[in-house]
Amino acid sequence: MQLYDMPDDRGHFGPYGGIFVAETLVEALEELRVMYERFRHDPEFLAEFAHDLKYFVGRPSPIYYAKRWSERVGGARIYLKREDLNHTGAHKVNNTVGQALLAKRMGKPRVIAETGAGQHGVATATIAARMGLECVVYMGSEDVKRQAPNVYRMKLLGATVVPVESGSKTLKDALNEAMRDWVTNISNTFYIIGTVAGPHPYPMMVRDFQAVIGVEAKQQMQEMIGRQPDAVVACVGGGSNAMGIFYPYLNEENVRLIGVEAAGLGLATGKHAAPLTANSSVGVLHGNRTYLMQDEDGQIIETHSISAGLDYPGVGPEHAWLKDSKRAEYVAITDDEAMAAFHSLCRTEGIIPALESSHALAYAEKMAATMSPDQVILVNLSGRGDKDINTVAGLSGITL
Amino acid sequence: MSRIKTTFDQLKQQGKKALVPYITAGDPHPDLTVKLLHTMVANGADMIELGVPFSDPMADGPVIQRASERALVHHVGLSRVLEMVREFRQQDNVTPIILMGYANPVEAMGQEKFSDRAQAAGVDGVLTVDYPPEECKEFTALLQARGIDPIFLLSPTTEPARVEVIVNQASGFVYYVSLKGVTGAKNLDIEEVAQKVAEIRTLTDLPVGVGFGVRDAATATAVAAIGDAVVVGSRMVQAVEQSNDQNLVDNVAALMKELRIAVDAA
C-alpha cells in the first residue's frame, strides 16, 4: 500500500472534505490553515502539547486486557485503549488541548465550541479555564435537557453555555450556531471544533491531535503482545476517536480497521445515525462534502441514537474516503446491543463505559465470538459512562 | 443577454440604483410566494432574491432561520421553488430572479439537473452561499452555459487577490456582504463599506450589490449611494413574519414603497 497522504492542500480526501463555507469565513479558515501548517511540525509547539497531554491529561492512557470479558465472550482476546481514564473522562480533551495551544499562539482570548453529549464542551471549558480563555459553548436545547450534569460541569469551569433553539435543537444545530458566532466575532475568537468534521483544516487538525491515541497504542501493543492487533474497533459519530486510533494504523495493511456507527432503533427503521453503514447519499454540510442523512430535497434529517455523542447526521470526510477506498469497514450497532455490552463490561470488568464506546464494545463482542483466542481485537474505549447513568437508569425505569 | 445585465444597464441609463428584496420561498405559506413576488415588483423591486429553504442555514441570522423553518413545515424544497419561479414567469418575463441558498439541496438534485431546470423555470442568477469559487468551477460553467449568472459573495475580510479570483468566476453582479456576521446583524459601518466597495470597483466592472445589514430607509439610502444594488433581506422577512393573512400583502407593499423612496433618494 502506498504511504497515506491525505488530505490535499484544500482539505480533500478524494471527493470528500474541502472548504464549503460562506465567504465571510474563508479568511478566518485561511488564517487558521496557515497557522496550523506553521505549528504542526514546530518542535516547541509539539513539546508543549506533549507536556500538557502527560501532566494535565494524564497520558499515556493504558491498554488493558479485558481477560474476564474476553473469556466470557469466548474467542478473540479483547484489549481496551483506556481513553476513559483521561482527565475529563474521554478522548475529547486531547484535541481541545491542541487547539487551545494554537488559539493562544494566534492571540485569540476567546474560544467557542459546539457540543452534543457535553464531553467536548466540558473538555473545552476545562482547557479554557486552565489557560485563562473566555469560553462559550453552544449546545442544542434538547441536549441541555438530556445532559444536565455536563451542563453544570461546564458552568463550574467558568464557561457560558448557550442553549440552541433552532432546527432539531441538537448537535448539528449547535454547530451551526457556533459557526454564526465565529463569523461575527472572528477577530478575537477561536472555534474549537470537537470532531473530524467541519471545513478544512479541522478534519485534518483534529485527526492529528487525536492521533496520539493510535501512536501510543502501536507502541503499547508491541510491548504487551509483541505484535499489532488483528483488528482495531472504534465508534463513529463525527469520528474523532476512531480517526485518532485508525490514523497511525493506516499503513499497517494487516490490521483491520472497523468503525461502528449507531444503528439506533435499527437501520431498517430509518431511526439511526449511521450514514456510512446505511449507504446514505453524499452531500455538503458543515463545511465539507461527506455522507449525510438527508431527505430527497437535500434537507438534513433528524437522527436517532441512545448516545448523544453519536447522534450526528454526517460523518468526518476522511471516514467517507476510508469507506470508499475500503481501507476501513463500517458497521452499525443498535441501541439495545450497545446497552447489553454496556452492562456486560460493567459487571465483568468493573469499567463503566460511555454509551458511545459501548457501540464499539458491542461490535467487538460479536466479532470476537467468531475468532480464536490467538487473535486480538483492540477497542478504543473512548470515554467513561458516568455521564450516562441517568439515561441508563431511566431505561430501567429508575429516577436518580 | 441575461435579465440581470439588462436591468442594471437600464437602471444606469436612468441614474438609478437597483432595489433587491429577499424573501424565503414558502414563507409564510407556499401559496403566497408568487403573489408576494408580484407585489414586490409592483412596488419598486428591480430584481428579487428568492431564498431556498434549508434545514441548516449556517450563514443566516435568527430572522431568516425562522423563515426557513416556516417554509419547511410545508416541505418547500428546491423543486417546489423552481415551480414558483415558473409560475411567476407566466406574468413577468422581465424582473430577474436570483435563487439564494445552500449547496446541499443543489447537490441532492444534481448540479446539472438543477441547472437545466433552473433555466427552464426562468431563473437568472444563483447564489450558493457555501460554494466558494474553488469548490464550484464545474457548477459555474454549467450555469453560465445556460445563461444563468453565478453570483458570489465578497466579505469585509476578502483580500484583494481573492476578490480577483472571485470576480473572474462571477457574472451578473457581485454581492458585497457589508458586515462581519450573519444576515440581519446590526453593526453596519458605512465608511468601511464605501472604502471596500471602491476597492472592489478597481478590480471589476461588474455591478456591486450590497447587503446583510440594510435595516431601514436610512441605511438603504446610505448603501444606495455606494453600491449598484441594495439587497434587503432580514427586514423584508421580518415584515412577512410580523404580518397576518389579512395584512401581509399590504405590509410588504408598504415596506417596498418606503425602501424605493429611500434608494432613489441616494
Smallest CA–CA distance from B181 into chain A, residue: A184
Query: Quick check: B77 contacting A, CB < 8 Å?
Result: yes
- Please confirm whether the linkage preceding A201 is cis (ω < 30° from 0): yes
Q: Which residue has the higher pLDDT, A77 or B213?
A: A77
pLDDT confidence of residue B1: 63
Report the C-alpha gap between B137 and B243 in whole angstroms: 41
Query: Quick check: A166 contacting B, CB < 8 Å?
Result: yes
C-alpha cell at A292: 449525510
What is the per-residue pLDDT across B98-135, written as a single tens digit (0 to 9) for each? 999 999 999 999 999 999 999 999 999 999 999 999 99
Query: Quick check: B169 contacting A, CB < 8 Å?
Result: no
What is the percentage of chain A residues whose pLDDT exceeds 90? 91
Write the residue in B78, B130, B154 that is nearest to A21 by C-beta.
B130
Q: Is A269 helix (H, G, I), strand (E, B) or coil?
A: helix
Residue to substitute from B56, B102, B151, B159, interface A, most A β-carbons within 10 A: B56
Mean pLDDT of A257-272: 97
**Do A167 and B54 count as a contact with CB atoms less than 8 A apart?**
no
Q: Which amino acid is at B85?
A: V
What is the per-residue pLDDT across A128-149, written as a single tens digit (0 to 9) for each? 999 999 999 999 998 898 788 8
Q: Taken in order A247, A194, A317, A23, is the CA torsion positive or negative?
A: negative
Give the residue carrying C-alpha cell 468566476.
B169
Query: Quick check: A9 contacting B, CB < 8 Å?
Result: no
Q: Which helix or strand (DSSP H or E) is residue A261 part of?
A: strand A256-264
- Neighbouring CB atoms inside 10 A of B233's CB total 26
C-alpha cell at B115: 441547472
Report ipTM for this prediction. Answer: 0.95
Mean pLDDT of A302-327: 95
Smallest CA–CA distance from A199 into chain B, residue: B130
pLDDT confidence of residue A3: 63
Mean pLDDT of A45-72: 98
Write the residue in A183, A187, A294 that is nearest to B108 by C-beta.
A294
Distances (CA, A) of A92 to A106, A123, B14, B44, B169: 21, 6, 60, 54, 40
pLDDT confidence of residue A1: 45
Q: Which residue has the higher pLDDT, A148 or A227?
A: A227
Q: Are B148 and B123 in contact (CB under 8 A)?
A: yes
Query: Quick check: B164 contacting A, CB < 8 Å?
Result: no
- Please confirm whether the linkage preceding A313 is cis (ω < 30° from 0): no
Three state DSSP letters for chain B: CCHHHHHHHHHHHHCCCEEEEEEECCCCCHHHHHHHHHHHHHCCCCCEEEECCCCCCCCCCHHHHHHHHHHHHCCCCHHHHHHHHHHHHCCCCCCCEEEEECHHHHHHHCHHHHHHHHHHHCCCEEEECCCCHHHCHHHHHHHHHCCCEECEEECCCCCHHHHHHHHHHCCCCEEEECCCCCCCCCCCCHHHHHHHHHHHHCCCCCCEEEECCCCCHHHHHHHHCCCCEEEECHHHHHHHHCCCCCCHHHHHHHHHHHHHHHHHCC
Annotated catalytic residues of A are 92, 114, 382
Residue to substitute from A12, A19, A297, interface B, most B β-carbons within 10 A: A297
Write the residue in A22, A172, A299 that is nearest to B72 by C-beta.
A299
Beta bridge partners of A113: A137
Report the C-alpha gap between B100 and B51 in whole angstroms: 5
Q: Are A78 and A344 in contact (CB under 8 A)?
A: no
Largest CA distance in chain B: 50
Q: Taken in order A183, A185, A187, A193, is the CA torsion positive or negative?
A: negative
Give the residue carrying C-alpha cell 492521533.
A211
Smallest CA–CA distance from B104 into chain A, residue: A284
C-alpha cell at B146: 445556460
**Do A294 and B104 count as a contact with CB atoms less than 8 A apart?**
yes
- Please confirm whether the linkage preceding B28 is cis (ω < 30° from 0): yes
Q: Are A145 and A116 in contact (CB under 8 A)?
A: no
- Neighbouring CB atoms inside 10 A of A386's CB total 12
Q: Which helix or strand (DSSP H or E) is residue A258 part of?
A: strand A256-264
Q: Going residue by residue through chain B (266 aa), what tens digit of pLDDT does each one get?
A: 689 999 999 999 999 999 999 999 999 999 999 999 999 999 999 999 999 999 999 999 999 999 999 999 999 999 999 999 999 999 999 999 999 999 999 999 999 999 999 999 999 999 999 999 999 999 999 999 999 999 999 999 999 999 999 999 999 999 999 877 777 766 678 889 999 999 999 999 999 999 988 989 999 999 999 999 999 999 999 999 999 999 999 999 999 999 999 999 98
pLDDT beyond 70 at A369:
yes
pLDDT beyond 60 at A42:
yes
Give the residue carrying C-alpha cell 466558494.
B132
Beta bridge partners of B21: B232
Smallest CA–CA distance from A175 into chain B, residue: B58
Write the residue in B57, B79, B157 that is nearest to A186 by C-beta.
B157
Q: Is A89 helix (H, G, I), strand (E, B) or coil?
A: helix
